[in-house]
Amino acid sequence: MEIIPAIDIRGGRCVRLDQGDYARETVFADDPVEVARRWQELGATRIHVVDLDGARDGIPHNEAVVWRVIEAVSIPVQVGGGNRTLDVIDRYVQSGADRVAIGTAAVKDQTLLVNALAMFGDRIFVGVDARDGMVATDGWLETSEMRALDLIGQLSELGVRRIFYTDISRDGMLGGPNFPAIHEVVEHAAGLASPMAVIASGGVSEVEHIRRLKLIGVEGVIIGKALYTGALDLKAALAAAR
């Protein structure tokens, strides 16, 4: 199982939001590039970078900063936030992003998703963000009327092979993941005609959380705030995942 440190960028700086609330922001570093290098030096094998401004507004705002992160490290970087046109996705792929995440567009513009999959294959993965089991979009500012499990079924039919699942109520709160929901998602994704790998995100703050997620069968775990506050040591997290 892979441990994936998160770098959330807003206004060019490395920040974390509580439950995705843009009014509840903590700045952890002025230079996301330095943060990426630190995670690599500590043993990370992949980094998850999100343009929070892009996720909210639907267009990249921190693209140049993300490019700098990709250039600064030798490990794979996956990029999310505001990837709602083929041009944007292509620019990230050309800049060296290993994977590009589609979130809101996977709900609101599935033609884009289908075309992106045709062009970029497994370099495309989808963020499924849920609030009380319902899909949230637009930087988590809107909640749709679609169940997360129903969306996951649609994504499989469209050819998606990997998702990352976030329970918004747990994100940035250090209170532990929503294990029952993640277990349900993993079982559902594995039982589809075209199974999908699941990466878990949100709430991980203890080594024991990682051990439980490994038993559930997730492919990876995205960790943010716990690493920045020191609640969880990256080396300990990597050891628990092995």
Active site residue 129: yes
Burial of residue 159 (number of CB atoms within 10 Å: 0-12, 13-18, 19+): middle
Q: Which tokens is 216 given? A: 């559930």
**Residue among 53, 129, 167, 171 flagged as catalytic:** 129
* Count of Cβ atoms closer than 10 Å to residue 221 Cβ: 24
Cβ atoms of 129 and 168 within 8 Å: the answer is yes
Q: What angle do CA 175, 103, 92 make, to 5 degrees?
A: 110
Active site residue 57: no
**Residue among 8, 51, 53, 171 flagged as catalytic:** 8
* Count of Cβ atoms closer than 10 Å to residue 149 Cβ: 17
Taking CA atoms, 6 is separated from 21, 74, 233, in Å, by 17, 16, 14
Nearest to 120 by CA among 100, 134, 144: 100
Catalytic positions = 8, 129
